[in-house]
Structure 1
Amino acid sequence: MPELVRIEWVDSGQPIPGWQWLSEVEARRAHRCVSVGFLVQDDEQTKVLAPNLGASNGGEDWDQASGLFTIPTVAITKIEKLTSVA
């Protein structure tokens, strides 16, 4: 089973619709985010989390994932391995 992790990361802000006068643009900053899931890909460029795992045969073999979420490695500020109580 892939490791269960908590990742803190930064993301860009949502675009502001419509035109704005440059003189009226207020200072903006990146958004702080946190995500939890099973780490199904871990390399130099990306970390991919799956919030859901499934066993297609109904047994113990986790062979499917849904809701895959990709985070650029450069955006990550902290990764914490979580333990399960099972």
Structure 2
Amino acid sequence: MGRVVDPLALFKRPSSSAGEFRKWVDWELPCYLTSFLTVVILGIRLNAKPNFTLQTRPHQKERQQATATEQQELVSMEAQTERSARLRSP
């Protein structure tokens, strides 16, 4: 009759003796390094993406308007101090 082949025999590894480390196959190191770098790069890139939610846009506009009004106030205060300094000087 035919030979019986175990379908999982391809994935079975011979067990190493106690205290002995398994030797790596030549494809394992590049595969593990590439996988690790992919996870790191994706993690950094996905956290660095800009926030385009509906709530973000109004907050950005409010900040821009607040900085514009602060700058206008600073300019007007500087102009007032210059005018008062000119009036004080003889």
Relative contact order (alpha carbons < 8 A, sep ≥ 6): 1 or 2 greater? 1
Q: Please, what TM-score do these two structures have when normalized by structure 1?
A: 0.19
Q: Please, what TM-score do these two structures have when normalized by structure 2?
A: 0.18
Which structure has greater strand proportion? 1
| Larger-Rg structure | 2
